[in-house]
């Protein structure tokens, strides 16, 4: 089974994308296989709406476990199967919470096993002191993954006014990456993500 890891900083829309992309593909009941930080597996089933209500929050590090959902991508008369894996958000430095540190370590360990990396970047946050800037962490993810993995950046929040200008900046700075502009919330341009996955599964 092809494994596609949804990766990125905290609060960039990873869980929202995972749930809504499954919904876009016609999944009405999400069965998440959850790998707890202690290592054991459990299963949780959600309707799409309840998953969004219970798993998507504005707070940082609400995802503290690895969530995996099995997807079927329509391909001709059949399907291609894919594990889409939602992960704990990454930060620079050491987080004070032991459980979050363990979840982040688990996320980093999954990079090696993944066949495809979907790296979410929030277009509304590409600035530092009013200057356009890509975070050091996002650059580290890009520098490693685009050389070693099947890799695409999902440039999230294209529904916002600031997005177009920041998207152009991102494309200029990371010109060797596959960059797919999306809205995780409104399912915009998910067809391009599906096309990318079908090509690489």
Q: Which CATH class is domain 2-200?
A: alpha beta
User: Which are the contacts of 55, defined by CB distance < 8 A and separation ≥ 6?
Assistant: 15, 19, 46, 62, 63, 67
0.85 surpassed by pTM: yes
Q: DSSP class of residue 109? A: H
Q: Look-up: residue for tokens 């504005």? A: 58
Q: pLDDT tens digits for the chain (201 residues)? A: 999 999 999 999 999 999 999 999 999 899 998 876 666 788 999 999 999 999 898 765 456 678 899 999 999 889 999 999 999 888 876 656 666 677 777 888 899 999 999 999 999 999 776 789 999 999 999 999 999 999 999 999 999 998 999 999 999 999 999 999 999 999 999 999 999 999 999
Strand partners, 128: 131
């Amino acid at each position: 089974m092809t494994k596609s890891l949804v990766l990125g900083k905290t609060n960039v829309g990873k869980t929202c994308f995972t749930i809504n992309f499954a919904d876009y593909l016609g999944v009405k009941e999400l069965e998440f296989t959850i790998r707890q930080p202690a290592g054991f597996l459990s299963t949780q089933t959600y309707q799409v709406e309840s998953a969004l209500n219970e798993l998507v929050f504005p707070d940082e590090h609400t995802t503290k476990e690895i969530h995996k959902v099995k997807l079927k991508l329509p391909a001709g008369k059949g399907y291609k199967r894919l594990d889409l894996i939602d992960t704990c958000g990454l930060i620079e430095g050491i987080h004070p919470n032991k459980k979050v540190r363990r979840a982040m370590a688990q996320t980093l360990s999954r990079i090696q096993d993944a066949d495809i990396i979907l790296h979410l970047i929030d277009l509304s946050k590409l600035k530092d002191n009013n200057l356009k800037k890509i975070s050091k962490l996002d650059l580290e993810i890009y520098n490693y993954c685009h050389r070693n993995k099947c890799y695409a950046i999902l440039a999230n929040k294209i529904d916002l006014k600031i997005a177009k200008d920041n998207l152009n900046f991102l494309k200029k700075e990371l010109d060797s990456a596959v960059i797919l502009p999306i809205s995780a919330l409104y399912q915009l341009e998910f067809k391009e993500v599906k096309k990318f996955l079908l090509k690489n599964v």
